[in-house]
Structure 1
Amino acid sequence: MTASGQSFDCDVLVIGGGIVGLSTAYALTRAAPGTRVIVLEKEPGTARHQTGRNSGVIHSGIYYRPGSLKARFAVRGAAEMVKFCAEYGIAHQVTGKLIVATGRAELPRLHALVQRGRENGIPVRELGPAQIMEHEPEVRGLAAIQVGTTGICDFGAVAAQLAAASDADIRCGEEVTAIDRRAFGVAVRTSSGTVLRARAMVNCAGLQCDRVARMTGDEPDMRIIPFRGEYYELTDPSLVRGLVYPVPDPAFPFLGVHLTRGIDGGVHVGPNAVPALAREGYDWSTLRPRDLATTLTWPGSWRIAQRHWRYGAGELHRSLSKRAFTTAVRRLLPSVTESDLRRAPAGVRAQAVLRDGTLADDFLIRESPRTVHVLNAPSPAATASLPIGREVARRALRALSG
């Protein structure tokens, strides 16, 4: 298989049919009408992994470092996502959310979030215990902030609309098995034996993005370490009116167990975060030796374990013990019992981990000849997918002339 300079099947080949890949294709066909775009997705349909397995929250951007891609794209993306949903009749709601401090040690972190929200241009309102109960009668806390721009939607439906509204050729069931990059373009072979030639390639492969990058000959100096987020749902959704979050621990990139009333009216509780035994390992019974070997042989994995073993042990305990999970939920919702919780589908977060054990805390987009790699795009990537797509499309169009 070689890339030929004589003919191309498309101008830009996008690998990955999640919301970021589809948003990139959507942006490409709008920024440069006539650009020929093909999207390859290995699953039978689009949005089968991170996009279709989350709690559907349109994040405000309050948590993210001012000036970071996450902060800028989440704030902009939240407003654009609401507008996109309204334009295409996709179910959505701007609900706002509460971030609740349940212990005195959390109060300084809560106040820091107020400041961060203001720096990011996000409206926040501080609440006392009585005001918390006015919004959420069953929730208890010492103090809280209300974030008005948070919302909910169906990101799977958003992804489907992006696919329908773009002029891209979207091909499902086509897993990339080999890539040949030359000075004049890129050739890709798929599991069906098809060979496609493109002038430029975009890697939006999510849980597999580091492997795709290495197929091109690039060494991304990171690996995707999969963390499974396990959810329950409330048997009595009336216990929670909206969205309720704890004050996050800044030492770890996960938000902690929270309560999310979804667009269908159900209330998700979670997630916790445990290392998955496969990149698409949605339960403990799914183990893929190749994926596990990648995790265990990457130096960053062991450095994470050394730094955060106590945190990880707690997450593992809550994964294996419903009683322990319920205890964590009671910090926010004291009246909840084990019988109030039933298992819900899990998700897997594609977390980029650097060689030194650093968990990448911002979106990570890297360019090389004829190629753009999206190497870290976990939450809030779905919220920020429209501006991310435009940014990646801009770089891809630049790569066409590279």
Structure 2
Amino acid sequence: MHYSGGRRCGVRFDCEVLVVGGGIVGLSTAHALAQSAPGTRVTVLEKEAAPALHQTGRNSGVIHSGVYYRPGSLKARFAVRGAAEMVKFCAEHGIPHQVCGKLIVATERDELPRLHALVQRGRENGIPVRELGPAQIAEYEPEVQGLAAIHVSTTGIVDYGTVAAHLAEISGAEIRYGAEVVQISRRDSEGVAVRTADGTVLRAKALVNCAGLHCDRVARLAGDDPGMRIVPFRGEYYELGRPELVRGLVYPVPDPAFPFLGVHLTRGIDGSVHVGPNAVPALAREGYGWGDIRVRELGGTLAWPGSWRVARRHWRYGAGELHRSLSRHAFTEAVARLLPAVSESDLRRVPAGVRAQAVLRDGTLVDDFLLREAPRTVHVLNAPSPAATASLPIGREVARRVLGALRG
């Protein structure tokens, strides 16, 4: 299928589709458009000087299996499919990766029912899961201790910044860096017009919003009510000074009441071992440290009713995360539940990441991918982990929707 550019009703279009955001989801969408509709002219607008500098390039690099996610949810469907596709994509394009498997370890008796529930969920999602006792845990991870564990063999590791950079190269899209979107106008006869911070105006027949940490702001620029707000959470990481203590990936049993997986240990594709993340509220959309404060963005977060409802609902959990953020000793104690041999001197801070968490007005933390359509527009309003894992099928789904908008 091909959509030609040119004029419509006297208006000249610079391209068929404008994609706002050069992270892995935006670039996967551009790639999927090239695959699904060869000849479609796509322009990606990225406000930074290079792709994937925020969520995509600041995570633990795990190719998630899909074991955690509710059967039938977009997360479950896209993660299971996406993990296999990501491994295949990396193999075909010579991108370093490894399918190493991971352990999910219960260290307290009250975690055992939740661990068993994960076994059932994994099997419902078609994921091979092996149940382990304490002696079998040592076969995989000699320094890790627990009452029981499960081994998920399909989990892997990769550098998603490298994946995103490769998608940028092969997508065929025009990618404009340093192009921050500041104004959007939609008119029936003129498609979508976007103005960037340097005054450039681009016109397209359709728009895709993959702006990540700024997706709700971009939706409002387009005149749409996203019905949610991005509340940023900073994920703080340490690097393990003795990486030989961990062979692969080790996770605690997650608390289903909160959308974070807890402090875990992940061996990267470069051989280093990251420990974290600790999740605390960020004071800016790109608040990678306590000193990164943007008053207007923080004011917007505090003015959103859902933010206060989240705080009331999860204050006890949040207090623990904050304590671990401010106390290296408390963070080390959390790690030692899984890895008793760790000491404070083994941990050194590395750059943090920020998660774009969509929060509804009633305080609901959106747990699944959230895609919404408007005239000639597709908004990706929640793409948390495992978005990088699932980026190829997410990109195809977004491309399918925007091509439908073009046909319309």
TM over 0.5, yes or no? yes
The alpha carbon displacement at 1:250 in A equals: 0.1
Say whether 1:49 aligns with 2:44. Answer: no
Decide which of 148, 162, 187 is 1:143's aligned counterpart. Answer: 148
Instruction: For structure 1, list consecutive stretches of 5 or more residues without a partner in the other structure.
Output: none
1:113 maps to: 118
| SS of match in other structure, 1:273 | strand
2:11 maps to: 6
2:224 maps to: 218
Say whether 1:383 aligns with 2:389. Answer: yes
Q: Deviations over 1:274-317 (max 9, x none)?
A: 00000001000000011101110000000000000000000000
Say whether 1:83 aligns with 2:62. Answer: no
1:130 maps to: 135
Aligned length: 400
Decide which of 59, 75, 78 is 1:73's aligned counterpart. Answer: 78
The alpha carbon displacement at 1:90 in A equals: 0.4
TM-score under structure 2 normalisation? 0.97
1:197 maps to: 203
Say whether 1:362 aligns with 2:352. Answer: no
1:346-357 correspondence runs (5 A): 346-357=352-363
Instruction: For structure 2, list consecutive stretches of 5 or more residues without a partner in the other structure.
Output: 1-7
Say whether 1:228 aligns with 2:234. Answer: yes
Q: Does the Cα contact within 8 Å between 1:4 and 1:197 map onto a contact in 2?
A: no
Using the alignment, how far apart are the partners of 1:6 and 1:235 within structure 2? 59
Using the alignment, how far apart are the partners of 2:158 and 2:33 within structure 1? 24
Name the aligned partner's letter for residue 84 of structure 1.
F
Using the alignment, how far apart are the partners of 1:361 and 1:282 within structure 2? 23
The alpha carbon displacement at 1:145 in A equals: 0.2
Using the alignment, how far apart are the partners of 2:136 and 2:351 within structure 1? 33
TM-score under structure 1 normalisation? 0.99
Identical residues among aligned pairs (%): 80
Q: Deviations over 1:143-167 (max 9, x none)?
A: 0000010000010010011111111
Using the alignment, how far apart are the partners of 2:310 and 2:10 within structure 1? 45
Name the aligned partner's letter for residue 162 of structure 2.
A
Using the alignment, how far apart are the partners of 1:401 and 1:267 within structure 2? 48
1:3-402 correspondence runs (5 A): 6-184=11-189, 185-402=191-408
Using the alignment, how far apart are the partners of 1:345 and 1:69 within structure 2? 30
Q: Deviations over 1:64-94 (max 9, x none)?
A: 0000000000000000000000011101000
Using the alignment, how far apart are the partners of 2:52 and 2:273 within structure 1? 22
Using the alignment, how far apart are the partners of 1:219 and 1:107 within structure 2? 42
Using the alignment, how far apart are the partners of 1:304 and 1:166 within structure 2? 39
The alpha carbon displacement at 1:59 in A equals: 0.2
Name the aligned partner's letter for residue 236 of structure 1.
R
